[in-house]
Amino acid sequence: MTIKELWHRLGSPRWFYQMMGPWGTGLGVAAALLLITGTLWGLIIAPPDYQQGNSFRIIYVHVPTALVCQSAYIMMGVAGFLFLVWRMKLADMVVKVTVPFGMVMTALGLFTGSVWGAPTWGTWWEWDARTTSMLVLLFLYFGLYALRQAIPRAESAGRACALLALVGVINIPIIKYSVDWWLTLHQPATFTLTEAPSMPAEMWLPLLVNVIGVYCLMGAVVISSLRTEILRRECNTSWVREELMGEPA
């Protein structure tokens, strides 16, 4: 298969619908197993922190949610780019169905961060560069959701959302480097790709399990909602009719 063929296949909603069903299920099962393991591990087996005590355990829900909402946004930005330039139908659907997932994860990241800040920093909220840029991310997700509702013509809505998704990606490096560029209350990153984690394995292993788990969850949710969206948009095609008749009720 040449690259061009692969490209056309990936852009085909029908191909995606028929190929990705098992992937969605598989990732969903993997996400459930990993998240249950990582969460129980972090809650029960992982040791408390020498300074923070047990409130440290919030890291196991805070870091995965706060990470995945940024990755979801980047994915959406790339899809927006593909839609703007190549008008790939599937890319527009990706931009649409990622919004609820990203919004929920951003809200969870902010909320768990706030709950963690209360006992450790002594405040639920501080307007520093990290917390503020995360709040901007939440509002970008709100904006994308509202924009699609506000524009009645599906094609114009798709283009407007794709552009907002793409331009909003600028916020992601700001979130990431906010703790290095400015003085913030938030501490620097725990995990980086280049350096060893700043905690022992018994503490970061459950975190890694939950991070991988939440990425599987993103895969499962996005694939499942994409397949639904494909059915909805292509409901007048013969292949969807055949597909629906073939599926058990």
Q: Which residues in the 136-155 window bind another protein by CB under 8 A?
A: none
Q: Looking at 10, 26, 41, 121, which residue binds another protein (CB under 8 A)?
A: 121
Minimal distance, residue 12 CB to another protein, in Å: 18
Structure tokens at 209: 């399990």
244 near another protein, judged by CB under 8 A: yes
Which amino acid belongs to residue 28?
A: G
7 near another protein, judged by CB under 8 A: no
36-95: which residues touch another protein (CB under 8 A)?
A: 39, 43-44, 47-59, 61-62, 65, 81, 84-86
Cα distance between residue 221 and residue 98, in whole Å: 8
When the beta carbons of 137 and 240 are compared against another protein, the nearer one is 240
Residue bearing tokens 């649409």: 96
Q: Would you give the binding string for another protein spanning residues 198-237, x where CB under 8 A is met? A: xxx-xx-------------x--xx--xx-xx--xx--x--
- CA end-to-end span of the chain: 35
How many binding residues for another protein (CB under 8 A)?
Answer: 79
Helix, strand, coil proportions of the chain in percent (round to 5)?
A: 80, 0, 20
Cα radius of gyration rounded to whole Å, the chain:
20
Cα distance between residue 20 and residue 15, in whole Å: 8
Q: Looking at 74, 167, 180, 239, which residue binds another protein (CB under 8 A)?
A: 167
The stretch among 2-10, 137-145, 150-158, 179-187 that binds another protein (CB under 8 A) is 179-187
Minimal distance, residue 157 CB to another protein, in Å: 17
**CB neighbourhood size of 186 (10 A):** 16
Please list, in sequence order, all residues whose beta carbon lies within 8 angstroms of the beta carbon of residue 138, skipping any fewer than 6 positions away: 103, 106, 107, 110
8-37: which residues touch another protein (CB under 8 A)?
A: 28, 35
